[in-house]
Structure formats: C-alpha cells, structure tokens
Structure 1
Amino acid sequence: MRPLDPRLVRRSATVRTHLVWSVALGALTAVLIIGVSWCIAEVVSRRFDGREVLLLPLVIVAAFGLRAAIAWAHGVVSERAAIRVKAELRSEVVDDLLDPRRVGARPESGRLVALLGPGMDAFDGYVGRFLPQLALAVIVPTAVVAVIAWTDLLSAVIIVVTLPLIGVFMWLVGVLTRDRVERRWAAMERLARHFTDVLDGLVVLKVFGRRQERGLREVGDRHRLETMRALRLAFLSSLVLELIATISVALVAVSVGLRVVEGHLELRDAMFVLLLAPEAYLPVRRVGTMFHDSTEGATATAELLDLLDHERHEGTLAPPAGPAPIAVRAARLTHPGRTAASLAVDDLTVEPGEFLAVVGRSGGGKSTLLDVLLGFERLDAGEVSVGGTPLADLDVTAWRESVAWVPQTPHLVAGTLADNVALGQPGASREEIASAALDAGLDLGLDRVVREGTTDLSAGERRRVAVARALLRARRSGAWLVLLDEPTAGLDARHEATVLAALRDSGATVIVVTHRPETVAAADRVVEVAA
C-alpha cells in the first residue's frame, strides 16, 4: 500500500495545496532546528571557555517559540485540509452515484456506509497527521544530514548507514500489518453491511421472532478482536523503531565523545552534531508511529478512488426523436467476479411499436439486457444501435428521456400515490395522473399517503404504481421505448390483463422481461435469452 496515492493528488486540489504548505513549513522547521542546535552548541562552547554568550539565549528562546508557532500552524493547516478533503470526497462520491453518465453497478449500501462513515473519519489521521509528517520525514533528515556532513563527515556516514534501517523495519512492519489492516477493514464493512441488512428487514425479523442480538454481537466482537490485534502490532512496531533510533544515536554519541576526548573534534562541533543527530531520526520515527494511524485512512482512500475510478458515457449525439429500430449484435458482457457471461445475444432487432417478450432462465441475462439498453452497463463486445447509431455514441441523458422504465423492484418516495405516479413529471395534471393510474389497474385513492419503505403497498400494487408512472411518462414526455422487468409478477389475472392492454395501447415499443405465460401470450414476438 503506497503512503500517498497519486490519484488522490491528481483529484484533490486541497491535497496538492496541503502538500505545498507541508513542504514549506517543513523546510522552515529544518532551518530552525539547525539554527537552534548551532546556537545551543555555541552557548555551551563559550561557557566552557569562559566567554560571554550575550544575546544567544534570547535567540534560542525566540527560535523555540517560533518553532512551536510553526508546529501549531502546521497542525491547523493539516486539520483544515483533512476536513476539506473529506467534504470534497463525500460530495464527489454522491455526485458520482447520481451521475447519469456513470457506467457500472452501484456499490452495496453497507460498503458505502463503512466508507463514508468510519472510513472518512480515518482521514483525520491520514491527511491531517501522516501526510504532513511524511513531508517532514523527507525534508528534515536530508537537511540535517547535509549540515552534519559539513561539520563531521564520520557522524554523517553513521547516520546515512543506520537511517535506512528504520525504513527497512517500517517496510517489514507494513508487510506484517497489511493483512491485519485489510482484515480489520473487512470486519468493519461486514459489521456495517450486517447492521444495514438488519435495519432493512427489521419488521420481517420481528414478525418471525428472529432476534439479531447474537449476530450483531458476534460481528462486533470480530471487529473488536481485529482492532486489538492491529493495536498490539502497532505498539510492538513502535517499540522496535524507538530501539533502532536510540541505538543509532548512541553510535553517533560514542564516536563523537571519543574524538572529543582525544582532541580530534572541537566541543562546539561535537555538541552541534549530538543535538542534530536525534533530529535526523525523529521525523522518520514519527512516520513509523503514525503509519498505523494512517493505514485505515489509506485503505479507505484506495477504496474511494477505486469507487470513483470507472467508465463514463462519452457519447454526444442526439437520439432519434421518435420510434426507431433497436439492434443488438454479438453482444457479450461478463460481470466482475464471474467466469460465465452475464449476457450473450447474437442477433436481435426490435421494430418500432413492437411488443417483445424476453424469456429465459433466471440469471440468463434478461435484466442485464435492460441495463445495457438503459446505459447502466457497457458491453465487453458487440454493439447496440438505435436507428443505426451506436448506443455508445448517443448522449445517454437525452437517450433516457426517450425511455420509460419499470424495474423489478419499484421504488416509492414519501408522499401520496399521485406524487409517486407523477415522479419525474412535475407538471402532470390530476386528470393525466388519474388516467395513467386507471389504465395500469391502480384502483387506490391517489391521495393515499405512502412512506419511502415498501410496507404500505403490496408487491403487485407497487408494480402497478411503476407501470402507471411509465404510462404517464410515455404520454407526456414522448418516451417511445418502455422497458419492463417482471411488471405483472404478483398481479391477479384481472389486473394483469388491464396492465397488458394499457401497454399494447400505448403505441410505444415495449420490451418486457417475464416468466408469466399470460404476458408471453400477449406479446408480438418472444425472444429467449440464455447467457
């Protein structure tokens, strides 16, 4: 795992600005460290010789005060940068999920909860503390070693030889902790996903008397154990880094002390080197200490950037204004994690105004075909064309204005039934809404209030709401293509006949995925899809 993902630097202007500030403040910190060390060494040397120190103590006090002010400013800049980066990424994730040009499946809600919640909270340690310390770990040791080499070459050689040992042990610690961090993050995602699933099915679980305290306790204990294992490893690795740095500074001190006693090195230079030597190791040690604090933030960063790193529709051509033939040629699509194809259609043409039934076994690619036609998925091979123009070249937002869609699980919004039927058609009149509801067999009061969940209406009633919504869209917005995924499942024979008659009378091109023999019998043509 890289300490700084280049994608984050390219994507976030705040991170770039933050790194510039970190480098500038780090350079100023290095200058102050060197200056203070020289002043202290000069004071000690003069007092041993019996000379006056004059204003040097005041300079040292002022330098320490300035160094504290810079450290405070660095902390403030870092915390504000972390807050801004979190806000920017949260906003970018939400915009990305709502972007109509996005291609690919949406992430699971449990994963999103873990990323945008605890994952984002870890940015305080990653962006706010680790990245600034990373800049200090590069600038300060480089400057200190250069000055020590100018003063005493042997001490500089000892530091140059021993300093990489900290880096080597940090790498070993990183290798050992990588699995721990990944397992802890997986436990966090599992906990979030389990809790979300329990909330979604809470009513059903209560009805059937299924208590979830034990499951939540087991998942929570697993997360706690993984966290404690990661913390134990963090404390042990910090001890190792401190021990290496202490031994390295002791080697410099022994070398300097012997040469002072033998008269080969002046006291002022010896004090200067002794004061600077720990400063060469300190920033690197702090990076090692903060590494564990940053790993969760770095993991969350990689997950978020992977989530944002996907294909988008680039087409700009206007779709046909009216009904046009739709052709699917040699279409192949395989979802990630699967070896078998999710969709395989060799040759399919849908004529304008045709009522086409798509049948096949479950998992054969019927719903995937609708996702491809809607632009939610992109083919691995083959082509879909509308009126002779490849679907990939069309403006996907304008194309979806020509489509009315009834998903397998229709979504309701909080409000009245009329509000749900008119979703996406804010200017629809009461008469238009009532007509679409009647044609869809929705024999419920339009003023009936429903909640966002799925408990207010039955599955068949929700599907009829979605069909009424599609009919209203076709009539008001000129949508000439109606895509339906199991629209008559859960409907009795009377309501199914009403829905099918309304779809046939709509005059639109209708593609319906179904297992129902009555729906298949009502179609102009039946196509079997088998991936």
Structure 2
Amino acid sequence: MDPRLLQRSRGVRSSLVAGVALALVGVLLLVGQAWWLARLVDQAFAEQRLDPTVLLLAVTCVGGRAVLAWGSAVVAARAAVTVRAELREAVVAEVLDPRRLGPRPSSARVTTLLGAGLDPLDGYVGRFLPQLVVTATVPPLVVVVLLLVDPLSALIVGLTVPLVVGFLVLVGLATQDRMSARWGELSRLGRHFSDLVGGVRTLLVLGSRQERGLRVTGERHRRATMDALRSAFLSSLVLELFSTLSMAIVAVATGLRIVDGGLSLQTGLFVLLLAPEAYLPVRRLGAQFHDSEAGVAAAREALDLLDAPRHHGDRGVPASPAIVVDGVRVDRGVGAPEVVVGDAVVLPGELVAVAGPSGVGKSTLLDTLLGFVPLSAGALTLGGVPVDEVDVVAWRRRVAWVPQLPAVPAGTIGDAVLLGAGGSRDDVVQALADAGAEDLDPDRVVREDAGDLSAGERRRVAIARALLRVRAGGVDLLLLDEPTAGLDAAREQRVIETVRGLGVTTLVVAHHPAVLHAADRVLELGRVPEPVR
C-alpha cells in the first residue's frame, strides 16, 4: 500500500479500521462455528443425540458470519466510492491550485484520471484492501487457536501458510511489470484519443491513417489486458494447488490420529473445519491481487500528480515594486538546458524588452515572475521581497499577462476581454481597437477551444483583455510574450503606443525591431553552454 494514500484519504483509513474490527469479530464467529459444528457431529455419532442448544449456537454463528459478510461488503463498497470521490476532488483542486509549481498536467492525463482511470480503485479499495486486512488477521489467529487444541496441526499450518504467501509474492513480482505496461497502454490510448477528438476536422481529411493508428493502439491495450488476465488465472491455479496440498497434509495427519485414538473426534473435526480458514484468505487475496495492481497503478498516478511542489510564501509585495534579478538559474528538467539570467533591475514604470535566441529562457523568466517555475539558484526580488516568499495568489491579481499561446474561453469575444477585469461595452470596444482588433465583433461567439479564431486574433483578444485589466486599476506589472507576432506594421505600432501610454512596469518578450526600439532598455539573454558528459 502506498503510504501517501493513507495520508490523503480518510476513506481508506476508515476502511482499514472497520476491516480490522470486522475481521476480529469474524474470527470469533469462525472459531465458534467450527467448535459447535464439531460438537454437534460428535454428539450425533458418539452419543446418538442432538442438543438443541448446541444446534442453536452453531446456527447463530453461521448466521452471524453471513450478516458480517454482508456488512463487510457494504462497508467496502462505500469506502471505494468515497476514496474515488476524494481523489477526483483532490485532482480537480490540484489542477486549479494557483500555488502549484511546475508544469500543469496534460488534459489527456487529467481526463484519463477523472474518467475511467480511477475505476480500478473499486477493486483495490473495495475488495483487495479488506481482504488484505483479513489475510493479515485471520491466519495468525487460527494458528494460535489450533496451537491450543492440536499443536501438530498448528505446526503444519504455521509452516505451510508462509509458503503459500511466498508463492503469492513471487506471482506478484512476475505480474507487476505486465500491469504497469497495461496502465501505460491505457494512458497512451487516452492521450491518443484526446488528440484525435481535439483535431476532429483534420481527422476527416486523414481519417484512414488515424483510424488505423487508433486501432493499433487499442490492439496493444487488448493484448496487455489479456496477458494480465492470463497471469491472473495461472497464479490462481498455483495458489489453489499449494493450498490444497497443504490442507491435505493436515487432513491426513488428523485422520490417522483419529483412527489411532490419539485425537478425539470432536477435536479432529474442529481442526478439519478450522484449518482451511487459514488458507482461504490467502487464496482470495491471490485471486484479487491483480485487481490491486491496477488499483495501485491508478492511485500512484493520481498521487504523483498530487505531490507537485507548492508555494508556501505569504508575504505581500509593495506597490509598483522594482524587480531585481541576481544571477537567476532555472532548471527546466532532464534534457533541457539550464536557463541563466544575469544581474538586472527593472524600475517602476519602465518598458523593458527581453531579447535573445529562441529557447534561451525568455518565457521562463516571465514564468518565474508569475511564480509558475521555482528558482534553482540566484535571487529574484519584487520590491525587496524574494519571489519564493511572495503570496503568489495576491501577487498574480496585480499582474496582467499575455502568454505566447493565449487561451480564449467559450462565449463571446466581449466576455473574453472582460474576463478578470469587468467594464462596459464601450471599454471593450476601445480595448479591442487599441489592440488592433477593431475588426472583431464583441458579440461574436467563439467555441470552447477558440478554434474558429486565428492565432493572431487570439493574441489580440488577449492583449485587449490585459489592457482592460491595467486600466481597471490594481495592476503593477504587465507581462507580454511576443504580443505583436502575426500583426501587420500599423497594428503593431498601435499596440506599442498603447502599451507605452499605460505607464505601468512592462516586460515584453520580443524579436521585432519595432518593439526593441520602443523599449526603454533591452535585456539580452544568452544560452549557457551545456556541460560535457
């Protein structure tokens, strides 16, 4: 069991506590059932009579175990539903958490988790974990009870049960890679399908090839699933075989001693009724182990997503802060060069252009100012406050940002411009005109993915939104990432003049000479050579 699941899910903790309590009660009923049934048979054969009290006690124990099994199934099913709901809520909260550091998870990954990706938790939490508790509780207690009535049978059971568990471990290790491969195939299939749905219009043109690719991916997933099922059936056969042989040893030893008179009929029957219950939980655990592998893989996927680092700063930033960069280094991950920014100061009200070759880290610098990416070394302060100590939620409310690939939500263009700022229709029209988008109708409806807008139109809508936010007040920093890409010279000049007239501290990532010449200063970033390996 992943300990992170215990920490995050109250449903799992409650399920384990309830499972232990139910298992203890079940052991008591199990011992009582075996004892009274053995007593009943002994009376019928040895004494030629039937005691109603003994019969009532035996029936009570059998009925109690039936009620207990029903209660255990109900508790386990509710726990599974609770855990799935908890993890889904946690994943949604994680995706929307503004304090999360690092890259956001892909939409395909989130869709897989929130959809069928967490369904295997039903088998893991609803069946495997309760059976795991029973397996850890019942066999040791059965051995203790057998030790009190028949030490030889207790010795046989105590030596053979660990052997069965050992085979279960070997089977688990052999199938772990196959289940991981199955989860990988499911994830890849989900990402592939999500990409196809996102490009459904292109799919109409390239349908045959994409359809063939989807069929091949689905076939790989089917083969991985069938391999896992084959391993499940074979492992169940192995566990059943060794459990049967172990029980046969107990039965032969007990029967011979009953015949020789070394063991009473009641004690022998009690041992024969109770001993199989030491192997039954292990056999059931082995049968459900493959459910657990899929559930563990799903839980690990969700928990890995939930374990992303977070901002813990809570300090406020002064109004119109000066930005001081002191040897900032950002590690963008394995295989990517490290981003290095030397010493620089951006004074309040300045328009500073960030220039340099593609991939040098210009957009990464903006991400550090927004608190999306943690620093590996160096210092970055906002009005004297280190960026990693800043309350990023409050700070981002004071930043207007136009990313390189801006998003436009579903609705009208006017609603997209008003997002996060508010204002009248006249404000929207003015902001669109200042962004060079006077040809866009504020009442025009766009789809959810804004696929009916060109890249230039989306960029202009995002610039208009940023302008409206700055004019609404409360914004101390404007961040623009290639804001004039795709604009003609006249619209580019209009955007530059509008930004210069705002009077707010502005960092703009740009390659165009017109933007570089209009800036107060140009901050040049250069690539640091990668270390030789």
Shorter-chain TM band: over 0.9
Matched with 1:299 is 297
Structure 1 residue 211: Cα displacement: 4.3
1:506 aligns with 2:502: yes
1:447 aligns with 2:446: no
CA contact (8 A) 1:401 1:477 kept: no
Q: 2:428 and 2:450 mapped to 1: Cα distance?
A: 21
| Residues 331 and 231 (structure 1), Cα distance of their counterparts in 2 relative to 1, 3 Å cut | same
Q: What pairs up with 1:485-504 in 2 under 5 angstroms?
A: 485-504=481-500
1:333 aligns with 2:330: yes
Match of 2:284 among 279, 282, 286: 286
CA contact (8 A) 2:352 2:521 kept: yes
Matched with 2:314 is 316
Structure 1 residue 53: Cα displacement: 2.6
Matched with 1:376 is 372
Moved more, 449-458 or 212-221: 449-458
Structure 1 residue 61: Cα displacement: 2.2
1:29 aligns with 2:31: no
1:433 aligns with 2:428: yes
Q: Which whole-Å deviations, capped at 9, do the CAs of 1:362-415 have from their partners, x for residues lacking one?
A: 222111111111111111222210011111111111111111010111111122
Q: What pairs up with 1:108-257 in 2 under 5 angstroms?
A: 108-207=106-205, 211-257=209-255
Task: Report the TM-score, using the length of structure 2 for normalisation.
Answer: 0.96
Structure 1 residue 39: Cα displacement: 0.7
Task: Report the TM-score, using the length of structure 1 for normalisation.
Answer: 0.96
2:425 corresponds to which letter in structure 1? R
Structure 1 residue 430: Cα displacement: 2.0
Q: 1:177 and 1:127 mapped to 2: Cα distance?
A: 19
Structure 1 residue 107: Cα displacement: 1.1
Matched with 2:406 is 410
Q: 2:111 and 2:324 mapped to 1: Cα distance?
A: 40
Q: Which whole-Å deviations, capped at 9, do the CAs of 1:202-233 have from their partners, x for residues lacking one?
A: 22343566642101101100100100011101
Moved more, 17-26 or 508-517: 508-517
1:260 corresponds to which letter in structure 2? I
Q: 2:479 and 2:50 mapped to 1: Cα distance?
A: 88
1:53 corresponds to which letter in structure 2? L
Q: 2:336 and 2:411 mapped to 1: Cα distance?
A: 43
Q: 2:125 and 2:333 mapped to 1: Cα distance?
A: 31
Q: 1:180 and 1:515 mapped to 2: Cα distance?
A: 49
How many residue pairs match? The answer is 525
Structure 1 residue 466: Cα displacement: 0.3
For the residue of structure 1 that corresponds to 2:466, the secondary structure is: helix
Q: 2:78 and 2:376 mapped to 1: Cα distance?
A: 43
Q: 1:336 and 1:75 mapped to 2: Cα distance?
A: 46
Matched with 2:394 is 398
CA contact (8 A) 1:119 1:297 kept: no
Q: Which whole-Å deviations, capped at 9, do the CAs of 1:121-153 have from their partners, x for residues lacking one?
A: 111101011111111111111211110011111
For the residue of structure 2 that corresponds to 1:244, the secondary structure is: helix
2:94 corresponds to which letter in structure 1? D
1:21 corresponds to which letter in structure 2? A
1:434 corresponds to which letter in structure 2? V
Structure 1 residue 293: Cα displacement: 1.1
Structure 1 residue 478: Cα displacement: 2.1
Q: 1:339 and 1:252 mapped to 2: Cα distance?
A: 63
| Residues 43 and 210 (structure 1), Cα distance of their counterparts in 2 relative to 1, 3 Å cut | closer
Moved more, 101-110 or 466-475: 101-110
For the residue of structure 1 that corresponds to 2:342, the secondary structure is: strand
Q: 2:188 and 2:356 mapped to 1: Cα distance?
A: 34
Q: 1:62 and 1:282 mapped to 2: Cα distance?
A: 22
For the residue of structure 2 that corresponds to 1:94, the secondary structure is: helix
2:499 corresponds to which letter in structure 1? L
Q: 2:113 and 2:207 mapped to 1: Cα distance?
A: 32
| Residues 166 and 346 (structure 1), Cα distance of their counterparts in 2 relative to 1, 3 Å cut | farther
Matched with 2:40 is 43
| Residues 206 and 486 (structure 1), Cα distance of their counterparts in 2 relative to 1, 3 Å cut | farther
Q: 2:26 and 2:207 mapped to 1: Cα distance?
A: 63
| Residues 7 and 326 (structure 1), Cα distance of their counterparts in 2 relative to 1, 3 Å cut | same
Q: 1:470 and 1:190 mapped to 2: Cα distance?
A: 37
Q: 2:335 and 2:57 mapped to 1: Cα distance?
A: 68
Q: 1:63 and 1:86 mapped to 2: Cα distance?
A: 34
1:46 corresponds to which letter in structure 2? Q
Q: Which whole-Å deviations, capped at 9, do the CAs of 1:26-68 have from their partners, x for residues lacking one?
A: 1111111111000111112112212423122232223212211
For the residue of structure 2 that corresponds to 1:512, the secondary structure is: strand
Identity among equivalent positions (%) equals 53
RMSD: 1.5
Matched with 2:85 is 87
Q: 1:100 and 1:339 mapped to 2: Cα distance?
A: 25
2:176 corresponds to which letter in structure 1? R
2:51 corresponds to which letter in structure 1? L
CA contact (8 A) 1:356 1:511 kept: yes
Structure 1 residue 154: Cα displacement: 1.1
Match of 1:385 among 366, 381, 384: 381
Structure 1 residue 339: Cα displacement: 5.7
Structure 1 residue 76: Cα displacement: 0.8
Q: 1:209 and 1:495 mapped to 2: Cα distance?
A: 39
CA contact (8 A) 2:354 2:508 kept: yes
Q: 1:453 and 1:10 mapped to 2: Cα distance?
A: 37
CA contact (8 A) 1:119 1:296 kept: no
- Segments of structure 1 that go 5 or more residues without pairing to the other structure are none
Moved more, 125-134 or 327-336: 327-336
Q: 2:281 and 2:128 mapped to 1: Cα distance?
A: 11
CA contact (8 A) 2:409 2:450 kept: no
Q: 2:56 and 2:152 mapped to 1: Cα distance?
A: 32
CA contact (8 A) 1:473 1:479 kept: yes
- Segments of structure 2 that go 5 or more residues without pairing to the other structure are 529-533
For the residue of structure 2 that corresponds to 1:353, the secondary structure is: coil
1:527 aligns with 2:523: yes
Q: 1:101 and 1:339 mapped to 2: Cα distance?
A: 24
